[in-house]
């Protein structure tokens, strides 16, 4: 990541990005474990949304 210029990213921003990424990874593991997302009939966004709404997790 650039250290200077318009696209400069601070250490704190990198930490926050990493924390958000880790949260998404943990959420995906939880959903995959409990909802068996790897065995879905569809991988489309709307299909997954309907599944999550029907399971009251969404």
Residue 32 is predicted with a pLDDT of: 79
Residue 1 is predicted with a pLDDT of: 58
Residue 28 is predicted with a pLDDT of: 82
Q: Give the tokens for residue 55.
A: 């399971």
Asked whether residue 6 is assigned to any structural domain, the reply reads: no
Asked whether residue 22 is assigned to any structural domain, the reply reads: yes
Residue 36 is predicted with a pLDDT of: 74
Task: Look up the domain containing 50 and give its range.
Answer: 11-54
Asked whether residue 24 is assigned to any structural domain, the reply reads: yes
pLDDT in tens, the chain (58 residues): 556 666 778 889 999 999 999 998 998 888 778 777 667 666 777 877 777 777 765 4
Cα–Cα distance list, 35 to 7, 22, 42 (Å) = 39, 20, 13
Residue 58 is predicted with a pLDDT of: 43
Cα–Cα distance list, 42 to 6, 17, 19, 30, 56 (Å) = 41, 29, 29, 19, 19
Q: How far apart are CA 43 and CA 33, in angstroms?
A: 16
| Total domains in the fold of the chain | 1
């Amino acid at each position: 990541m650039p250290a200077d210029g318009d696209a400069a990213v601070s250490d704190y921003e990198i930490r926050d990005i990493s924390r958000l990424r880790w949260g998404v990874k943990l959420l995906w593991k939880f959903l995959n474990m409990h909802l068996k997302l790897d065995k879905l009939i569809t991988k489309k966004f709307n299909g997954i949304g309907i599944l999550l709404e029907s399971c009251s997790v969404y």
